[in-house]
Amino acid sequence: MPVDEDSSEYRWSDVSADQLRREIAEALEVFPRRVVDLDGRKAAAVLIAVADHHGEQGIWLTERSSSLRAHAGQFALPGGKLDPGEDAQTAALRELHEELGIAAPRSAILGLLDDYPTRSGYVMTPVVAWLQDSPLPTPNPAEVAVVHWIPLSDLDVDPHFITLPGADHEAIQLPLLGSFLHAPTAAILHQFREVALRHRPTRVAHIDQPRFAWE
């Protein structure tokens, strides 16, 4: 693995796309992911879909439609609650197709990150996939208002951690798109950066969410 001689830190940006895919898969395979019991909550899945766009790897991030009953207008990864009989991987790929019109096989999945319990009553399982030769998204306007392409270099940033009034744990602000992303999306993307891109085992389930993200 390429290492910065000054910091002895792994540099994902120095590897080819094929090697990056292998190393993300390997990092997720050895990561001791934590599973959270539902305990009355609903199971959900989100997809971090790594794809090539003009020769650069990145992910698709959506802005939810203003017509949705819950979390309208918020930044989100493709995802939603599991249908009966589904596992997280199946649900995440289904949501990718329903929201962005992109069909991907189960073999595209590289691994899973930690479950993240939300204040809105879900346990979200983040699924990481590699979309080889993926078409451009054709968003479903009933669910998605805007689709943003986020290069991995933009995700490889240090977040800000803040204390919310009355909260027991810190919250996260991830600088993206000229503003800040918040948990749960920001927490999940931060763990993806730490585990998959930087090979640093990092937990985020304790990170709190601002009120607007779950009410």
Q: What is the CATH number of the domain that holds 89?
A: 3.90.79.10
Amino acid 1: pLDDT: 35
> Does 69 map to a domain?
yes
Spell out where the chain has E strands.
42-53, 56-64, 75-76, 79-81, 109-112, 116-117, 122-131, 144-151, 160-163, 170-176, 179-181
- Is residue 157 scored above 60 in pLDDT? yes
Q: Does residue 169 lie within any of the structural domains?
A: no
Does some domain include residue 39? yes
Count up the domains in the chain and report the number. Answer: 1
- CA–CA distance, 44 with 122 (Å, rounded to integer): 6
Q: Pick 3 or 144 by higher pLDDT.
A: 144
Q: What is the pTM of this model?
A: 0.90
Residue 164 lies in a domain: no
* Residue 94 · residue 70 · CB < 8 Å: no
In a domain, 2, yes or no: no
Measured in residues, the chain has a length of 215
Percent of the residues in the chain that have a pLDDT greater than 70, as a whole number? 89
Domain-located, residue 7: no
Indicate the helix (H) or strand (E) that contains 123.
strand 122-131
Task: Tell me, yes or no, whether 214 lies in a domain.
Answer: no
pLDDT one-digit tens code per residue, 22-34? 999 999 999 999 9
The answer to whether residue 97 scores a pLDDT higher than 90 is yes
Residue span of the structural domain in which 66 resides: 12-155
Tokens of 150: 């986020």
Question: Is a pLDDT exceeding 80 seen at residue 215?
Answer: no
Q: Which two tokens stand for residue 110?
A: 């590289």
Whether 67 maps to a domain, the answer reads yes
Q: Would you place residue 3 in the very low, low, confident or very high pLDDT band (cuts 50, 70, 90)?
A: very low
Using 50, 70 and 90 to split pLDDT, how confident is the model at 134?
confident
